[in-house]
Structure 1
C-alpha cells in the first residue's frame, strides 16, 4: 500500500520560520515534523512513501532520500499549490492500489494511523467541542454519510483531519475534481464520491494537531518531547543536574552548574552553560549555545542559534542562526490575563495560550539588554538597539 504525504506547502502562516525551509521540515523533537507522519506510516506497514513536494523541495529530498527505514520513497512535484486534491493528484503515477493520504504538517496519534491503514476505505475523525470552523462528518453507525465544510449547524462534532484511506479507483478521481469557489481543487470532493460508492468507516483519532502557526509548532514539540525516553550520550560535566526526561545527544555538552528539567532534548553539537537553567518542554537543536546565567523555558531553539549571556527566554520559538544579545529578556505573559496575540499574515490572532513569548526569525539579532514583549515577531535578519523595549513586530 502507498502513502501519499502532502509536503508541498509554503507555510506562509508560519513566517518568518519558513523563509527558507518548508513547514513540514520544521523541527519537532528529534526529527522534522513530517518525519513523525512518515514514521507512523512505516510502523503501520506502508509499502511505498510518496512525498508531494513543492516549496523548498530539496530539504525533503535530502532528509528522506530514495529509501526511508527500508521503505522505497518517491517524490511528486506540485508546481503550484492549488488545493489538496491537486497535490494528491501529483502522485497519480505512483498509485496502483489502495492508498492513504496524510498531511505532512499534521500530527496524529500512531494508533489512529495504524487503524486507518488497516481499514478500507476510511477517514480520520477527531472530536472537538465546536466543529463549526472545520469540515464536519455526518456519521451513522460508525460510517460516514457526508462531509460539510464549516457548517452553521454541524451534523456531528467529529471533524476532518486530512487523513484518508482511499480505494484504488479514487486515484483517477483525484484528477477529475473541478475547481471550487475558493479557487482550489478540494480533496473533500473525492471523499464525497467515495462515500457515494463505498461504505466509509470513521476512524477515531484520539489526538491530532494541525501545525500551521508558530505556537502550534511549540505545542507539537510539547507533545513529542514528552514521548522521549531519557538518554545521556553526550558530555555532562561537574555538578550539572538533569531532572525528569532529558536527552543529551552524542556531541552535546552540558557544562557545570547547569540544571535541566525535562522533558528536554539537547541535540548534537549543542552546548549548555555554565550555570544555565533549562526547563519545560525545550528543544535545543543542533549546534545551539545557551550560555552563562541563561534561563530557557518551554522553548524551541533552532539550529545554530545562540542565547549566550544572562537572558530569559520563555514559551518562544527561536529560528535558525539567531543571536540574542546579553541581557535579552522575553515577556511571555499579559498582565490583563488575556491570551497572547500574534500577527499572522497581517491579522492579530489569538494563540489560545495565556503564556507565549516571541517568534524570532532566521539570523535575527537582539542587542544588549533588549526587552521583547509577549507576541512580538522579529522577521528574518531583524535587529534591535541596545536597551530597546520592543512592543511591535520588527
Structure 2
C-alpha cells in the first residue's frame, strides 16, 4: 500500500480517499476534476472544460483537450499540449513545447521545455530539466501490464497506463527517462540521461 501523503505533503487537500493507489487516482482523475469544477471560485476563467486562474499566464498556441484546471500564478509556455484530465497547482511552470497527459502537478514545480509527462502524479517543488520523460506505457513489451516497486515490494497495478509518482523536492535531469511505474520518494535525484527502471520484467 502506497500512502501518497507520505510522498506529497498536501495531497490530502487535493483528494482525501486514502484507499486509492496512485494509478487508481489517475484512472479516476476525470471524475475528480468534474467534482472540483463545481467548487471553483470566480477567480477562475472557465471556458467549457478548461478552468484557468485569472493570475495564470498561457502563452500562444497552447492546445487544451479534455478537462483541465490551471492554478494561481502558473505559467504555460508556447506550443504546449495539455491532454486532460489535468490538474496543475499554484506557481507551476510548464515550458514551451511540453506535453502533459492525464496528470496531476502540484505547487511550485517546474517542467522545462520539450518534456513529456503522462499519467503521473508530480509533487511539490519538483524540477524537470529539458527533454525529460515520464513514460506511461510499455510499448516494447508483449505483456504491457505495469508493476511498481515500493519498499522492496512489487505491486501489480492491473493497468497498462501509469507513469510515475514523484515525491516532493525531487530533481529530474535533462533527457532522463522515468519508466512506467516509477515511484520516487521525497528529494530523489535522477541524473541527466539516466533511465529509471525499477521493476525488471520479461518481454
Give the alignment's TM-score, normalised by structure 2.
0.84
Q: 2: CA distance between counterparts of 1:255 and 1:220?
A: 29
2:181 & 2:145 partners in 1: Cα distance?
10
Return the match for 2:78 from 274, 280, 296: 274
Q: Is the 8 A contact 1:258 1:273 kept in 2?
A: yes
Deviations 1:165-198 (A, max 9, x none): xxxxxxxxxxxxxxxxxxxxxxxxxxxxxxxxxx
1:325 aligned partner: 129
RMSD, aligned α-carbons: 2.6
Are 1:24 and 2:12 an aligned pair? yes
- Following the alignment from structure 1 to structure 2, what is the Cα–Cα distance between the partners of residues 308 and 234? 25
* Secondary structure of the corresponding residue to residue 61 of structure 2: coil
Query: How far does residue 276 in structure 1 lie from its aligned partner after superposition?
Result: 0.5
Q: Deviations over 1:79-138 (max 9, x none)?
A: xxxxxxxxxxxxxxxxxxxxxxxxxx26xxxxxxxxxxxxxxxxxxxxxxxxxxxxxxxx
Where 2:26 maps in the other structure, the secondary structure is helix
Distance 1:384 1:20 in 2: 18
1:14 alignment counterpart: 3
Q: Which has the larger radius of gyration?
A: 1
**What residue is the counterpart of 1:362 in the other structure?**
168
- Match for residue 350 of structure 1 among 134, 156, 168: 156
Distance 1:234 1:254 in 2: 13
Aligned to 1:216: 24
Could you tell me which runs of 5 or more consecutive residues in structure 2 were left unpaired when the two chains were aligned.
none
Q: Does the 8 Å CA contact 2:148/2:198 hold for their aligned counterparts?
A: no
Higher RCO by CA contacts (8 Å cutoff, separation 6 or greater): 2
Aligned residues: 195
Look up the match of 2:182: 376
Residues of 2 paired with 1:340 and 1:13: CA distance? Answer: 15
Please say if residues 57 and 75 of structure 2, whose CA atoms lie closer than 8 Å, have aligned partners that are also in contact: yes
Residues 183-262 of structure 1: matches in 2 within 5 Å? 210-211=19-20, 213-227=21-35, 228=37, 245-262=49-66
Counterpart in the other structure of 1:292: 96
**1:248–1:384 Cα change, 3 Å:** same
Task: Name the structure 1 match of 2:69.
Answer: 265
Q: How many Å apart are 1:259 and its aligned residue?
A: 0.6
Superposed displacement of residue 13, structure 1? 1.6
Residues 58-96 of structure 1, C-alpha deviations (whole Å, 9 max, x = no match): xxxxxxxxxxxxxxxxxxxxxxxxxxxxxxxxxxxxxxx
Offset at residue 377 of structure 1 (A): 1.4
Deviation at 1:256, TM superposition (A): 0.8
Of residues 308, 319, 342, the one that matches 2:112 is 308
Determine which structure has the larger helix proportion and give its number: 1
What is the DSSP-based 3-state SS (H/G/I as helix, E as strand, rest coil) of the residue aligned with 2:25?
helix
Specify the SS of the correspondent of 1:226. Answer: helix
CA distance in 2: counterparts of 1:321 and 1:336, whole angstroms = 36
SS at match of 2:6: coil
Alignment of structure 1 residues 62-77 onto 2, 5 Å:
none
8 A contact 1:306–1:321 mirrored in 2 = yes
Deviation at 1:336, TM superposition (A): 2.3
Is 1:389 the counterpart of 2:195? The answer is yes
